[in-house]
Structure 1
Amino acid sequence: MMGKKRVNVVTMGCSKNLVDSEVLLNQLQRGEFEVVHDSSETGFDAVFVNTCGFIHDAKQESIDMILDYVDAKKRGDIQKLYVMGCLSERYQKDLEKEIPEVDRYFGKFDLKAMVDELQVNYYPEYIYERKITTPSHYGYLKIAEGCNRSCAFCAIPMMTGRHKSRTIESLVKEARYLAKKGVKEILLIAQELSYYGIDIYGKNRLPDLINQISEIDGIEWIRLHYLYPTKFPYEILPVMRDNPKVCKYLDMPLQHIANPVLKNMLRHVTREETEALIKRIKEEVPDVILRTTMLVGFPGETEEDFEELKQFIIDTKFERLGVFTYSHEENTYAAKKFQDDVPEEVKQARADEIMEIQQQVSAELNQQKIGQTFKVILDRKEDDYYVGRTEYDSPEVDGEVLISSSAELKKGDFCQVKITGAEDYDLFGEVIELTR
């Protein structure tokens, strides 16, 4: 008897892409394929590369990955090569012309076509089920597709379309499925959570969704990723303050603070409004921490604008902050309207300077945590340490807690950890109590 056919799905880019890969993996597994994710092995009957099309570097990484698998196909290491995701959605005809060795290109929303291509049944009734590729105790829940914002630098709406919320019922069903699979921490993701429900319910229903998910047995933490400062949904703040399962963690990309840059970025918010928003968030949820992202090198960004941004970061002391450099993306408003006039070396130098400031801020804030006790979820064991996170840290992007323990601990356990030391981004601690 012949063995099962083998499929490898390789995911590039963000956690939203990862969810798409997990849905595809589940559908193919139901079709009795042997499926793996991000495997470096050879001998696959088919490989799907799930691409990212966000900025130049991400696009180049996706193209390089496709070309690596083109070479693998030529060597006979794999049989079929397929490309899916954002890059394929946006540039399918160009890719077909430039890399014809790929057997077929699919857009971002072509799940049924991908399943049909491998000649297995498509199961729409199991669309909420996924083959979880993250550690089993946490999982992402994508609550919407698309984006109605028109930020000048961003090409994502061209790939994903307008904002489209999923129903509360479907999301609660998926969250229950994840909980049964052992997921204890749910990370709510979308291009932006702020708009959730308005398109189908006529008003923001994010608080209702959060509260219903929090009632599911097994779910201990709910984390919110990507809220925009413009038209911020203030109604989530009492939920975050009062619901013990909602992490006191807000991921809110600000991109900049200088009013001329914000105006040209089409962010539809001012410095004054941003500062008032941060003040209100911290007043209503006193122990909240903010994660943000800044963009440097946008067309027309002056030294004065950059100095203003630096001082704002120093003064605000964001607990978590990332930065990326502007990428001139074709057909965006910025590409049509402005010259890409900030040299690449200046962009990179500004990004480096921002991260030096943030490193110092993070180190100071971490030192203040020594002696405090936090609830920590354990992600893995690494060398002599168990590695976990507090509710103030999201997987992959934030700091970790390195824990010494003579007792045997399990991945996915919660424990109370007393902080005994600190580095710039990571903490050290010892277990005081195993809570779960």
Structure 2
Amino acid sequence: MPCTVALVSLGCPKNLVDSEVMLGLLQNAGYEVVEEVTEAEVVIVNTCAFIEPAVEEAVEALLDLVDLKREGSARCVICAGCLPERYRERLQEEIPEVDGFLGPGSVAEVVEVVERCLAGERSFRLSPVPWLYRYDTPRLRSGAQWLAHVKIADGCSHRCSYCMIPSLRGPYRSRGADDVRAEIRGLIAEDVREICLIAQDTSAWGRDLEGDWTLARLLESLDLGGWDGWIRLQYLHPDGISDEMIAAVAAVPQVVPYFDIPLQHAAGSVLRSMGRRGDPEAYLEMIGRIRGAIPEAALRTTFIVGYPGETDEDFERLLEFVREARFDRLSAFQ
């Protein structure tokens, strides 16, 4: 009987792609993937450590899996993702029952980590070396099969003061255009109806590649033919919303006019404290350019409220900005 493995994926869709790659690699190596952790000999939790509530959720999930191990249901518990990269030795010392640790730069080593843990060895793979999956990397997609996420880049080169992503996942690294296109073609062949292009900053794709690549050029080069599905862009940065990109969204029929642009705040003093460029006037001008070119465009954003140093006046300025901007969807966290 093959060894059974289950994975709990926490955090955002970018983390989910890593989870699906780990499951694909394990399945390709002969492991049987099961949905329920109570039915698995090896249980993995792929963690997020972006904000404190995410850390708390990850630790709670780990402790639940440790309980399964104590009860004899699971043989091995493995912690993957950003939590072990962030806390390293501290996490290893505080939860000694965890058998293996796997950072986001070591996803490709998941099979070796599992094998070592099953052999009774505690395994650590916390590599600062950047890693990107390829279109032909084994991947076991979960959830609705009509929907798929394509991670076109990883890491981040912005230095927002509230964010640890550059420290946890390294600098921004784009996948090559041929590689991205090959993955999209494969998903279309699998009858996927909606493909979401994601990264820490999707709009920055291509800046680190040779050949003057941009997200707009990538969209225009997809050659989607008669496919009647959707391409959706997520996690755009306001600095990357160029007229060229807006025009590409308008020109490619399969790209939905949906702009997911986390602005984080609108008061200049708070934005400067966050280490972010921009101001409410520039943001409104950007929104005007989008709606001027694509009147039916849907805009979504995210704000951080209660940021250290935010005054009542800053918060009122944010509310005023929201009224002026008229977003279609808005999320806020504290």
Q: TM-score, normalised by structure 2?
A: 0.91
Change (3 A) 1:231 1:174: closer
Q: 1:132: Cα distance to partner?
A: 1.0
Report whether the alignment pairs 1:103 with 2:112.
no
Matched, 1:48 2:26: no
Q: Structure 2 vs 1, CA of residues 154 and 41 (structure 1 numbering), >3 Å: closer, same or farther?
A: closer
Mark the structure with the bigger radius of gyration: 1
Name the SS of the counterpart of 1:152 in structure 2.
coil
Q: 1:254-312 CA distances to partner (integer Å, 9 max, x unpaired)?
A: 11111111111111112221111111111112211100001111111110110111121
Over 3 Å counting, the alpha-carbon distance change for 1:216 and 1:140 in structure 2 is farther
How much does 1:209 deviate?
Answer: 1.9
Match of 2:3 in 1: 5
> 1:217 and 1:109 mapped to 2: Cα distance?
37
Mapping of residues 195-234 of structure 1, within 5 Å: 195-201=204-210, 203-215=212-224, 218=227, 220-234=229-243
Per the alignment, residue 21 of structure 2 pairs with: 23
Say if 2:274 is the partner of 1:278.
no
Listed as ranges, the gaps of 5+ residues in structure 1 are 326-436
- Opposite residue 24 of structure 2, the aligned amino acid is N
Letter in 1 for 2:231: I
Tell me: CA distance 1:300–1:125, structure 2 relative to 1, closer, same or farther (3 Å). closer
1:96-118 Cα distance to aligned partner (Å, 9 max, x none):
01101000111112123211233
State whether structure 2 residue 188 is matched by structure 1 residue 179.
yes
> Gaps spanning 5+ residues in structure 2: where?
117-132
8 A contact 2:7–2:44 mirrored in 1: yes
2-structure distance, mates of 1:82, 1:231: 37
Deviates more, 1:287-296 or 1:129-138: 129-138
| Paired-residue identity, % | 39
Q: 1:257 aligns to what? A: 266
Q: How far did residue 208 of structure 1 move? A: 2.4
Check if 1:163 corresponds to 2:161: no
1:61-108 C-alpha deviation (Å, 9 max, x unpaired)? 000000000011000011111111011111121110110100011111
What is the rounded CA distance, in whole Å, between the counterparts of 1:7 and 1:256 in structure 2? 42
Give the Å deviation of 1:168.
0.6
Secondary structure of 2:105's aligned partner: coil
Question: Hey, what's the Cα distance between the residues in 1 that align with 2:8 and 2:237?
Answer: 29
Aligned with 1:112 (options 105, 108, 111): 108
Q: Tell whether the 8 Å contact from 1:204 to 1:233 is kept in structure 2 after alignment.
A: no
- Contact (CA 8 Å) 2:150, 2:195: kept in 1 or not? yes
Change in 2 beyond 3 A, CA 1:90/1:273: same
Distance 1:250 1:129 in 2: 30
Which residue of 2 is the match for residue 355 of structure 1?
A: none
The 1:195–1:203 alpha-carbon spacing in structure 2 relative to 1, beyond 3 Å, is farther
Q: Give the C-alpha shift of residue 215 in structure 1.
A: 1.5
Amino acid at match of 1:7: V
Query: Is the contact made by 2:78 and 2:100 (CA closer than 8 Å) also made in structure 1?
Result: yes
- Higher normalized strand content (fraction of residues): 1
Q: Secondary structure at the match of 1:215?
A: coil
* TM norm structure 1: 0.70
Distance across 1 between alignment mates of 2:108 and 2:148: 23
Contact 1:214 1:222 in 2 (8 A): no
Equivalent residues in 2 for 1:4-153, closer than 5 Å: 4-36=2-34, 39-119=35-115, 127-153=136-162
The structural deviation recorded for 1:162 is: 0.5
Q: 1:40: how far off?
A: 3.6
Alignment CA distance shift 1:214-1:13 (3 Å):
farther
After superposition, the Cα gap between the structure-2 partners of 1:216 and 1:72, relative to the gap in structure 1 and judged at 3 Å, is farther
Query: What amino acid sits opposite 1:269 in the alignment?
Result: G
**Aligned counterparts of 1:228 and 1:158: Cα–Cα separation in 2:** 19
CA RMSD, 1 decimal: 1.8
8 Å CA contact retained: 1:96, 1:102: yes
Identify the structure with the greater helix proportion.
2
Q: Which moved more, 1:16-25 or 1:265-274?
A: 265-274
Question: What is the number of residues matched between the two proteins?
Answer: 318
Q: Which residue of 2 aligns with 1:354?
A: none
Residue-by-residue CA offset, 1:123-176 (whole Å, 9 max, x unaligned): x88744421102111100000001111111111111111000000111111112
1: CA distance, partners of 2:250 / 2:135: 34
Measure the CA separation in 2 of the matches of 1:44 and 1:143.
Answer: 31
